[in-house]
Structure 1
């Protein structure tokens, strides 16, 4: 990504890269019938998906954006398109969400129609590679355990074409959440027939370290 000048500041290393063409990918997603049908969107907070969050608010959708690293007891921002302190673009940023949104607990969320996630890389079979922190999978597990995400909830990602890998190239584990649709500036890849099963059973406590649990207030409360 960096060598091809496809990554925007601050680069691709160690993060969900903000990529050249993120706006075009968001527009392509916006044109899909699955997008138009969605009323409530859960989205990651990374810069690469800011154009997606912006368009969701512009289109009148409620957006739940995860607090970075789930570092608050109420780990989601609730962005109501009818009550924003800033423009949709500003409100969709992390700094803007602190002004336009209120933090809410998982119990305060409504069922989600569409999940937006970021990727370091993604396979044509829906296999997703993140930063390694496991936060996207944990966000999904928390929402699924609360009954907010079901088998029909669509999981999508927007990426640069260089981030797309062939089917079978990305190894997966039982807790990994596969992607249904991969959207690049150039195309839409429907992975629903090829992707692996979604994880079931909510939070996999045995796979969480004590350090990870201690860093996420909600996990501390749930375990106690």
Structure 2
């Protein structure tokens, strides 16, 4: 993307979810999805190329949830524009600065039911297989939402990328913790993947280290909750999980992943939310 001058601020785009020229146009295509029209609560990651999707959610008067950076202070922030917010104010609310200035934390006991998830990617295939920047946070966020009962397997996942990021790669690159996507939005296309690979179904505590618990208090709270529910919350042995440093991370090898189990509190929007509700548009 850098060599072809397709990248946009912030640059260089290495070791991050890359912003790209045409990202706002790609975000506009979310309006082509029927699931977006039915959505009440949308979780959109804080990456720069997703800024247009956050703005559309606010303009459409949907509840917008944005994950906290690296999950250090919680899982979600709810973006709350000031009363009578103008279009310019809503644009500010959709930026990273706006997320800091116009948000309130959402606790584990809040009744959250996310209808639609929007995430960034480094690469994605038309089959719905996704590669992130190698730190595993999007996968862990999803697993935590499952544990909270905020999502279920039928909750649609959308990624927004440049056309050049849609590539073929072998399924062998994926691991059980990897989150797949149902829709891919680019500046020129809306792709329905029809992906049948199961999404993460909860946190696998045997892949979580004590160091991660120390850095992410919400993980400690979730672990206590699941322990009281009688689940096995045995942590990884010391030294079992070491994320690659950003300078070398290309494919997460031992990032936190999820285990089997039903998603509690799962509900569906009337009319369905899964990929079967949409057609394939090119």
Contact 1:56 1:62 (C-alpha < 8 Å) held by counterparts: yes
Give the length in aligned residue pairs.
221
- What is residue 6 of structure 1 aligned with on the other side? 6
Q: Deviation of residue 32 (structure 1)?
A: 1.9
Q: Distance in 2 between matches of 1:152 and 1:83?
A: 33
Residue 164 of structure 2 aligns to a residue in which SS?
helix
Contact 1:43 1:116 (C-alpha < 8 Å) held by counterparts: yes
Contact 1:180 1:195 (C-alpha < 8 Å) held by counterparts: no
TM-score (norm 1): 0.91
Q: Deviation of residue 81 (structure 1)?
A: 5.4
What RMSD over aligned residues (CA atoms) do the two structures have, in Å? 1.9
Contact 2:142 2:200 (C-alpha < 8 Å) held by counterparts: no
Residue 223 of structure 1 aligns to a residue in which SS?
helix
- What is residue 248 of structure 2 aligned with on the other side? none
- What is residue 51 of structure 2 aligned with on the other side? 50
- What is residue 180 of structure 1 aligned with on the other side? 182
Q: Deviation of residue 79 (structure 1)?
A: 1.5
What does the per-residue CA deviation read over 1:60-100, in whole Å, with 9 as the maximum and x for residues that have no partner? 1101100111110x331102457587712111122212221
5+ residue gaps, structure 2: 225-282
CA 1:197/1:83 → structure 2, altered by over 3 Å: closer, same or farther? farther
TM-score (norm 2): 0.73
Residue 165 of structure 1 aligns to a residue in which SS?
coil
- What is residue 223 of structure 1 aligned with on the other side? 223
Q: Deviation of residue 39 (structure 1)?
A: 1.2
5+ residue gaps, structure 1: none
Contact 2:81 2:102 (C-alpha < 8 Å) held by counterparts: no
Contact 1:112 1:149 (C-alpha < 8 Å) held by counterparts: yes
Contact 1:127 1:195 (C-alpha < 8 Å) held by counterparts: no
Higher mean Cα deviation, 205-214 or 77-86?
77-86
Q: Deviation of residue 212 (structure 1)?
A: 2.7
Runs of 4+ with deviation above 4 angstroms: 81-86
Q: Which has the larger radius of gyration?
A: 2
Contact 2:139 2:200 (C-alpha < 8 Å) held by counterparts: no
CA 1:217/1:17 → structure 2, altered by over 3 Å: closer, same or farther? same
Contact 1:22 1:160 (C-alpha < 8 Å) held by counterparts: yes
Q: Distance in 2 between matches of 1:160 and 1:88?
A: 25
Contact 2:183 2:192 (C-alpha < 8 Å) held by counterparts: yes
Q: Deviation of residue 50 (structure 1)?
A: 0.9
CA 1:82/1:112 → structure 2, altered by over 3 Å: closer, same or farther? farther
- What is residue 63 of structure 1 aligned with on the other side? 64
**Structure number having the greater strand percentage:** 1
